[in-house]
Amino acid sequence: MIAVLVLLIAPLLAGGLSLVVHRSGWLHGINLASMGALVTAEVVITHTVLRSGPVTALDQLVYLDALSTFILFIIGTVGLACSFYMRSYMDEQVARGVIAPSQLNQFFFLFHMFVLAMVIATMANSVGVQWVAIEATTLATTFLIAFWRRRESLEAGWKYLILCSVGISLALFGVVLLYYSSLHVLSDASQGLNVTHLLPVADRLNPQVLKLAFIFILVGYGTKVGLVPMHSWLPDAYTEAPAPVVAMLAGVLEVVAAYAILRVRVIVDHAVPFAFAGGLLALLGFASFLTAAFFITIQHNYKRLFAYSSIEHMGIAMIGLGVGGPLGTFGGLFHLLNHALAKSMAFFAAGNIHRRFHTVEIGQVQGVAMAQPWTAMALMISGLTLSALPPFAAFSSEVQVVAALASQGVPEMELAGTVGLVTVTLSDQFSRVALVSVFLVGAVLSFGGLLYRITGMVWGTPPEGMVREEIWTLGHLPIILLTMALMGFTFFLPPPIQQLLERATSIILIH
């Protein structure tokens, strides 16, 4: 299938050209062309999947269904927005002498390899190949996080590398256990990690081994997602990395890692009661949501503020996916999309503010509305969206998660038969009313903390001598488009996106 080849060749070719092309304009043109080709191919694949069902290609190395196509949509959308934003952002860094012109080649090469790794992780039929691709994202993003080569950025890069390497090692052990379980069922050992071969026989796999495999995979990939308590790398990395890189980390990489968890979760749910995986997801989701809500209230660094907001919203998505049911699952997936769009715009705004104010301290930033009106709009809209206020789309997805939580509660989670732990029955410890109350307390904390700090930055008077204008550039185009999406998705989901979400929900619910 040509579209599948384009998804693979476009970022690979763009990365290769980035090493030999030295003119800034050509590098940006290659970047935009690559992301444009990727988005076009994704549209073609979406049409094919919605019309004809799952697609396999390249001798079953590639498997694309509605769930993976939905993730590809997020990769393409946020990636294209970052490509428009990068033109003014990176050129200004060169003009100010922050980086040498020759370093642009390195940046674009690493960026394209990052995109390629995420595309492969999403398209891979084999859970093993998916693991290799997610490990490749670690290698590419470590250098991107440390790209400024300051002491703080190098420290953040090392912290990210060490913690995510530990996490990915745990995920590898989970993948090995999954393969071990398949050996006793599948006659062809070479297909032991392929989703297309595992799903038909999933109910015959060893449930005890699958439970242990899922725990390791959840903790391992959960490190990439930024779930508590594996989240400690995230605030440092998001503070030090270039703004377009952070937009991809928060808006895309977290979603791809969550997708990897869901792929295995669907297999596990065929052999193990739904409550096992669902309970674990909800437990880590609540831990992430509540921990982040507290830290949001005490932040004085606007990049760290948005970093903890990412932890909070991924926690909300995990709660919805953990509670399950049509409403909770749809709400969790929809929240992944809304968070990706809002958080990428938030970090675009943060990058613009940092370039103008030269500080990440919230107390030293005020009057953004006067100094940078377009950036102020992006900051306010992303902040209102992340605070889940109507009429923004995150309000709809968060309400769906809360409604599912209120109607179903958290699934009972049985760990005793797996690792000898005490049985934990969350639904007996907390009533549904109590769970919803705890959720609402966390939502109020994050709402107050986030909006209090954002409004303090937007209003007021800029420092003396600061230029009070913002020239329109291509970097502002994604701000307009993302704003339209975040407001429009509340009232009308385009049919292809709605169908993708509905079919992806049905894939996760089959168990």
User: Is the Cα dihedral 74, 76, 77, 80 positive or negative?
Assistant: positive
Local confidence band at 412 (pLDDT 50, 70, 90 cut-offs):
low
Among 242, 271, 300, residue at a domain's last position: 271
Residue 354 pLDDT more than 70?
yes
Q: Are residues 336 and 253 in the same domain?
A: no
Torsion angle of C-alpha atoms 34, 37, 38, 42, degrees rounded to 10: 170
Run of H or E residues at 56: strand 55-57
Q: Rounded to whole angstroms, how far apart are CA atoms 74 and 38? A: 11
Average pLDDT (332-346) is 95
The pTM assigned to this predicted structure is 0.93
DSSP state of 459: S
Residue 418 pLDDT more than 60?
no
User: Where do runs of H (alpha helix) occur along 430-469?
Assistant: 432-458
Q: Are residues 256 and 281 in the same domain?
A: no
Q: Are residues 228 and 317 in the same domain?
A: no
Q: Rounded to whole angstroms, how far apart are CA atoms 155 and 113? A: 22
Nearest to 251 by CA among 336, 318, 351, 147: 336
Q: Which pLDDT score is estimated for 408?
A: 81
What are 300's two structure tokens? 């004085």
Q: Are residues 222 and 237 in the same domain?
A: yes
Q: What residues make up the domain containing 404?
A: 273-511
pLDDT in tens, 360-405: 999 899 999 988 889 999 999 999 999 988 888 899 999 999 999 9
Q: Which pLDDT score is estimated for 413?
A: 52
| Residues pairing with 194 in the sheet | 126
Local confidence band at 353 (pLDDT 50, 70, 90 cut-offs):
very high
Mean pLDDT of the chain: 90
pLDDT in tens, 455-473: 999 998 888 777 777 777 7
Q: Which pLDDT score is estimated for 431?
A: 66
Q: Which pLDDT score is estimated for 336?
A: 96
Residue 242, preceding peptide bond in cis (omega within 30° of 0): no
Q: Are residues 230 and 143 in the same domain?
A: yes
Q: Are residues 263 and 309 in the same domain?
A: no
Q: Which pLDDT score is estimated for 464?
A: 79
Q: Are residues 250 and 304 in the same domain?
A: no
pLDDT in tens, 215-261: 999 999 999 999 999 989 999 999 999 999 999 999 999 999 999 99
Residue 430 pLDDT more than 70?
no
Q: How many residues does the chain have?
A: 511
Q: Which pLDDT score is estimated for 426?
A: 46
Q: Indicate the range of 134-143, 382-391, 428-437, 501-510 predicted with least confidence.
A: 428-437
Average pLDDT (262-278) is 92
pLDDT in tens, 95-127: 888 888 888 999 999 999 999 999 999 999 999
Residue 474 pLDDT more than 80?
no
Residue 55 pLDDT more than 70?
yes
Extract the runs of DSSP E, i.e. beta strands, from 302-395: none
Alpha-carbon 389 to chain mean position: 21
Q: Which pLDDT score is estimated for 463?
A: 83
Q: Which pLDDT score is estimated for 492?
A: 86
Q: Which pLDDT score is estimated for 96?
A: 86
Q: Indicate the range of 35-39, 422-426, 487-491 predicted with least confidence.
A: 422-426
Q: Which pLDDT score is estimated for 421?
A: 42
- Pair 374, 472: CB distance under 8 Å: yes
Q: Are residues 285 and 241 in the same domain?
A: no
If you count DSSP H runs as helices and E runs as strands, how many of each does the chain have, helices first? 22, 2
Say how many C-beta atoms besides its own lie within 10 A of residue 97's C-beta.
7
Q: Rounded to whole angstroms, how far apart are CA atoms 406 and 323? A: 10
pLDDT in tens, 183-208: 888 877 788 899 999 999 988 999 99
- Pair 284, 218: CB distance under 8 Å: yes
Q: Are residues 342 and 241 in the same domain?
A: no
Q: Rounded to whole angstroms, how far apart are CA atoms 351 and 241? A: 10
pLDDT in tens, 278-316: 999 999 999 999 999 999 999 999 999 999 999 999 999
Average pLDDT (129-136) is 96
Phi, psi (deg, nearest 5) at residue 71: -65, -40
Phi, psi (deg, nearest 5) at residue 401: -65, -45
Nearest to 299 by CA among 351, 248, 242, 360: 360
Residue 75 pLDDT more than 90?
yes
Residue 390, preceding peptide bond in cis (omega within 30° of 0): no
Q: Which pLDDT score is estimated for 422?
A: 41
Q: Are residues 294 and 359 in the same domain?
A: yes
Q: Are residues 421 and 411 in the same domain?
A: yes
Integer angstrom CA distances of residue 489 from 329, 354, 483: 17, 30, 10
| Number of compact structural domains in the chain | 2
Among 246, 271, 296, residue at a domain's last position: 271
- Choice between 489 and 78, residue whose per-residue pLDDT is larger: 78
- Pair 35, 6: CB distance under 8 Å: no
User: Is the Cα dihedral 68, 196, 322, 230 positive or negative?
Assistant: negative
Q: Rounded to whole angstroms, how far apart are CA atoms 298 and 317? A: 23
Contacts of 298 (CB under 8 A, 6+ apart): 449
Among 214, 247, 271, residue at a domain's last position: 271
Alpha-carbon 197 to chain mean position: 27
Distance in angstroms between the alpha carbons of the first and the last residue of the chain: 30
3-state SS string over 37-48?
HHHHHHHHHHHH
Residue 164 pLDDT more than 90?
yes
Residue 31 pLDDT more than 90?
yes
Nearest to 66 by CA among 85, 78, 40, 48: 48
- Pair 339, 312: CB distance under 8 Å: no
Q: Are residues 321 and 256 in the same domain?
A: no
Most confident of 147-151, 340-344, 423-427: 340-344
Nearest to 310 by CA among 254, 362, 257, 361: 254
Local confidence band at 429 (pLDDT 50, 70, 90 cut-offs):
very low
Q: Which pLDDT score is estimated for 420?
A: 42
- Pair 37, 10: CB distance under 8 Å: yes
